[in-house]
């Protein structure tokens, strides 16, 4: 039985490795960072993802999943190598391909036999050809290989479920036979498989993420207009979403998209367009709207506190960019906390899992043990992340312990009427009709 090698044990790599092992394959997960591999060998996950520890443990025990830092070991008797390393944003918003390039070079130097090299990382259109060039030029002796693009569509927080229940598998290659072999690996996932050329597959990933980001900026713009016109964006989204051409998903108004993918991918797609002399008008607007969400949140809190943040204590519920993850990459809470502090406020926060990561990024923010400690004597509470555990808090207790009962709900987690009847001065986003009575308090 040939094995699969996955290069990179970040979100995408580790879930891909454990996911394929769980489907019965023998998988070698490789990373050049010794401490990550050592940790994994001892059952320590480098990231937080629900269900991951159990999945890894089960497959390690069954002997299907192993970890190494050695390309030479990992590529022995291997037919499929997934590249799943990071592609951060470079200085001009372009994707930084240094880790992909380094992985391709190491693969070239250590491969012994025919290999199918599969790009999982989100890479600019044309990277598949570039990777093929690197492998060709770094092989000590010519050994045949094929390059296939197989972009990931995993969401943090539900990445394992997404791996096991994909909406589709996209494969791109100039070598149809190689693409068909990779398709075989995915057959048991029972999702439609789209086989196309390399560049089109790479573009499908960017276009998908850019479309989802557009949906978010669209609903955020509608939220702004709803507020001005006295309509309720939550109900607008429900009413729109029943149209099958629109759908309910990704129509939650909020603090804008963050995380490791959307900000970077929309920027990279716009950069690719500009490099070729195109004007990515829509993508620019999507980023512009998203960029306004964080300062808007700070201004709202300021307005609710009668125009001044100086000396005020603001409690934040949620720091991670979204629930069920400890990921703080491009989390709106970072910019918001920094802006509040710059305006003279004291900031306290609680997040169910990201506080350790967040404390290093936000050293001036006081981390609290629970939402009630955040609320005590605070001038206002802000909801940054819609964690489930914030839905049913003891609000009378929170109200009584706050200095002033003010809530700015950046995720529309609560109903304006409920909050008003509990005695809070409450504002959500785009809740014009229901929210307006409280806004004018
Ligand atoms: C995303 C894509 O969904 C996934 O397919 C891709 O492979 C990686 O990028 P992820 O970044 O984990 O996944 O999170 P996602 O759940 O898509 O949310 C992204 C951001 O959009 C978050 O900041 C979230 O808060 C925001 N969002 C999402 C909204 O503001 N409103 C919504 O309705 C949905």
Residue 261 annotated as catalytic: yes
Distance CA 279, CA 85 (A): 30
Residue 210 located in a structural domain: no
Residue 336 located in a structural domain: yes
Q: Is the pLDDT of residue 225 over 90?
A: yes
Residue 441 located in a structural domain: no
Residue with tokens 């599969």: 118
Q: How far is the CA of 116 from the centre of ligand 1 (A)?
A: 30
Distance CA 210, CA 55 (A): 31
Judge if 169 and 252 occupy the same domain. no
Distance CA 161, CA 22 (A): 12
Angle at 250 between CA 351 and CA 241, to 5 degrees: 135
At 144 the pLDDT is: 97
Judge if 339 and 190 occupy the same domain. no
Sign of the torsion angle spanned by Cα atoms 27, 196, 248, 254: positive
Judge if 242 and 181 occupy the same domain. no
Cβ proximity of 50 and 228 under 8 Å: no
Q: What percent of the chain has pLDDT over 90?
A: 93
pLDDT in tens, 317-331: 999 999 999 999 999
Judge if 153 and 256 occupy the same domain. no
Judge if 421 and 345 occupy the same domain. yes
Lowest mean pLDDT among 2-6, 210-214, 436-440: 436-440
Cβ proximity of 293 and 255 under 8 Å: yes
Residue 34 located in a structural domain: yes
How far lies 178's CA from each of 79, 134, 139, 148, 167, in Å? 10, 19, 20, 7, 22
Judge if 163 and 289 occupy the same domain. no
Q: Is 159 in the pocket of ligand 1 (CB under 6 A)?
A: no
Q: How far is the CA of 54 from the centre of ligand 1 (A)?
A: 24
Residue 186 structural domain: 3-196
Q: Is the pLDDT of residue 366 over 80?
A: yes
Hey, which of 212, 215, 218, 331 would you mutate to test ligand 1's pocket, going by the most ligand atoms within 8 Å of its Cβ?
A: 212
Judge if 291 and 374 occupy the same domain. yes
Judge if 69 and 131 occupy the same domain. yes
Distance CA 366, CA 411 (A): 22
For residue 241, give both structure tokens: 């979403």
Residue nearest to atom 24 of ligand 1 (CA): 257
Sign of the torsion angle spanned by Cα atoms 105, 110, 114, 118: negative
Residue 435 located in a structural domain: no
Judge if 410 and 356 occupy the same domain. yes
189: CATH: 3.40.50.720
**Domain boundary pick from 196, 220, 252:** 196
At 438 the pLDDT is: 42
Please count the structural domains in the chain. 2
Residue 202 located in a structural domain: no
pLDDT in tens, 126-158: 999 999 999 999 999 999 999 999 999 999 989
Cβ proximity of 237 and 219 under 8 Å: yes
**Domain boundary pick from 167, 196, 225:** 196
Collapsing DSSP states into helix, strand and coil, what is residue 85? coil
Instruction: Say which residues have a Cβ less than 8 Å from residue 16's Cβ, sequence separation at least 6.
Output: 6, 82, 84, 120, 152, 163
Q: Which residues pair with 26 in a beta bridge?
A: none
Collapsing DSSP states into helix, strand and coil, what is residue 105? helix
The distance between the two most distant Cα atoms of the chain, rounded to a whole number of Å, is 76
Mean predicted lDDT score pLDDT of the chain: 95
């Amino acid at each position: 039985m040939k094995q699969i090698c996955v290069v990179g044990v970040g979100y995408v790599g580790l879930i891909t490795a454990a996911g394929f092992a769980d489907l019965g394959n023998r998988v070698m997960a490789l990373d050049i960072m010794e401490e990550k591999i050592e940790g994994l060998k001892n059952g320590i996950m480098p990231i937080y993802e629900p269900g991951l520890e159990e999945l890894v443990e089960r497959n390690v025990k069954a002997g299907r999943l192993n970890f190494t830092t050695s390309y030479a070991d990992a590529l022995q008797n291997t037919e499929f190598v997934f590249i799943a390393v990071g592609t951060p944003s470079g200085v001009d918003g372009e994707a930084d391909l240094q880790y992909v390039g380094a992985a391709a070079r190491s693969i070239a130097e250590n491969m012994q036999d025919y290999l199918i090299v599969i790009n999982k990382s989100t890479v600019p259109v044309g990277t598949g050809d570039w990777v093929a060039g690197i492998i060709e030029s770094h092989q000590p002796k010519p050994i045949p290989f094929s390059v296939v693009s197989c972009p990931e569509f995993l969401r943090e927080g539900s990445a394992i479920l997404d791996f096991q229940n994909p909406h589709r598998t996209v494969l791109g290659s100039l070598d149809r036979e190689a693409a068909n072999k990779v398709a075989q690996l995915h057959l048991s996932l029972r999702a439609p498989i789209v086989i196309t050329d390399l560049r089109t597959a790479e573009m499908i990933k960017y276009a998908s993420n850019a479309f989802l980001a557009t949906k978010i900026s669209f609903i955020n713009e509608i939220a702004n207009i709803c507020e001005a016109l006295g309509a309720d964006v939550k109900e607008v989204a429900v009413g729109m979403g029943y149209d099958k051409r629109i759908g309910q998903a990704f129509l939650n108004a909020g603090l804008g998209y963050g995380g490791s993918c959307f900000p970077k991918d929309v920027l990279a797609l716009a950069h690719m367009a500009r490099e070729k002399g195109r004007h990515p008008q829509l993508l620019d607007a999507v980023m512009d709207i998203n960029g306004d969400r964080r300062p808007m949140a700070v201004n709202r809190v300021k307005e609710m506190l009668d125009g001044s943040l100086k000396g005020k204590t603001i409690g934040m519920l949620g720091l991670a960019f979204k629930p069920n993850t400890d990921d703080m990459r491009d989390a709106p809470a970072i910019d918001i906390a920094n802006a509040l502090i710059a305006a003279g406020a004291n900031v306290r926060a609680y997040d169910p899992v990201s506080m350790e990561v967040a404390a290093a990024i936000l050293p001036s923010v006081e981390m609290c043990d629970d939402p009630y400690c955040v609320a005590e004597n605070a001038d206002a509470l802000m909801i940054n992340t819609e964690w489930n555990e914030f839905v049913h808090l003891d609000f009378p207790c929170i109200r009584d312990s706050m200095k002033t009962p003010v809530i700015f709900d950046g995720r529309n987690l609560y109903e304006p009427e409920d909050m008003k009847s509990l005695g809070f001065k409450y504002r959500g986003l785009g809740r014009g009709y229901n929210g307006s009575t409280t806004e004018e308090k």
